[in-house]
Amino acid sequence: MRTTIKLTAAVAAAAALTLGLSACSAPSDTSSSGSGKKGKDADPKATLVVAASPTPHADILNYVRDNLAEKAGLKLEVKEFNDYVLPNTATQNGEVDANFFQHKPYLDDFNKKNKTDIVPVVNVEIEPLGLYSKKVDKVGDITSGNTVAVPNDATNEGRALKLLADNGVIKLKDGVGAEAKLSDIEDKKGIQFTELEAAQIPSRLADVDAAVINGNFAIGAKLNPAKDALALEKAEGNPYANFLAVKKGNEADPRIAKLSKLLNSDDVKKFIEKKFSNGAVLPAFGNAQS
């Protein structure tokens, strides 16, 4: 079962990669992606193309585009992607100018594995990870013989296992934190784990007894973290702020500076707090650490 799941996810990812790259292969003529000008030399009047996950990242960017960008002298185009690979691939290849969908542990792991040099620019928001189920009513009901789905990428899987350990579902080896792997589980308590691509987990929730789902995918699946989650990651002191990111060398792009300022504005703070009043997305402004 586990091998089949991984192969299915791989095939789906490969198909998505082909479609996504095709969609991005002809960037707008007004974007610096097609002009060859990068960084501080980029044309400030050219359209800035940003890759983003649909919710909440594209929601936030679309708000900026529709309400704030024109006044700031910024032309903004948002391209939506439904996975955690294509936005970075497109940014590295210059098919888009920036992306907004990830946190630093994920980016560090992606850069290391793919030999890319994408860097964070400015933090925007945090989406608490949650444990969900359609079969049990509380965390204590997850027992021996149950199956729990977790994200299969290194950083989000570790984060998911820490959430499960913090809530007594499993026990991790001493000293293991958010970098945990399945092999670091000291006591599974008879629970079986299914590793799936993060974007696939909401649609598979009914097939397992419980699942750890990333905040943006939970929202997209019409789940209410505050009401539906059996356990929810704490936002305070959370190192997983999602940020605007660019290929190294493009940090000084004048359009990136404009977008960064807008993303950390009071208007965006109010938008996030109003649109995601269930606490699924929280503002987390400030400069991102490289």
pLDDT, tens digit, 9 for 90 and up, residues 10-58: 334 433 433 333 333 333 333 444 446 778 888 999 999 999 999 999 9
Last residue of a domain, one of 217, 232, 247: 232
Whether 156 and 144 map to the same domain: the answer is yes
The predicted pLDDT at position 179 comes to 84
Co-location of 69 and 213 in the same domain: no
**Which pair of tokens denotes residue 189?**
């308590």
Which segments of the chain have a pLDDT < 50?
1-35
The domain of 140 spans 130-232
Phi/psi of residue 279, nearest 5 degrees: 80, 10
pLDDT attached to residue 181: 94
227 lies in the same domain as 242? no
Instruction: Using the 3D structure, point to which of 232, 250, 265 is the last residue of a domain.
Output: 232
**Which CATH number do you get for residue 119?**
3.40.190.10
Residues 56 and 165 in one domain: no
- Residue 111 sits in the same domain as residue 253: yes
- 3-state SS, one letter per residue, for the chain: CHHHHHHHHHHHHHHHHHHHHHHHCCCCCCEHHHHCCCHHHCCCCCEEEEEECHHHHHHHHHHHHHHCHHHHCCCEEEEECCCCCHHHHHHHHCCCCEEEEECHHHHHHHHHHHCCCEEEEEEEEECCCEEECCCCCCHHHCCCCCEEEEECCHHHHHHHHHHHHHCCCCEECCCCCCCCCHHHEEECCCCEEEEECHHHCHHHHHHCCEEEECHHHHHHCCCCHHHHCCEECCCCCCCCCEEEEEECCCCCCHHHHHHHHHHCCHHHHHHHHHHCCCCCCEEEEEECCC
Please report, rounded to a whole number, the percentage of residues in the chain having pLDDT higher than 90: 71
Considering 232, 251, 275, which residue would you say is the last residue of a domain?
232
29 lies in the same domain as 114: yes
What is the reported pLDDT for 236?
Answer: 65
In this structure, the answer to whether residues 252 and 282 fall within a common structural domain is: yes
pTM here is: 0.71
- Does 203 lie in the same domain as 105? no
Provide the domain count of the chain.
Answer: 2
Same domain, 123 and 172: no
pLDDT at 60 (0 to 100):
98
- pLDDT for 289 equals 82
Same domain, 71 and 201: no
Are 65 and 114 in the same domain? yes
Residues 224 and 188 reside in one and the same domain: yes
Sheet holding 130-132, edge to edge: 192-196, 147-151, 210-213, 130-132, 231-232
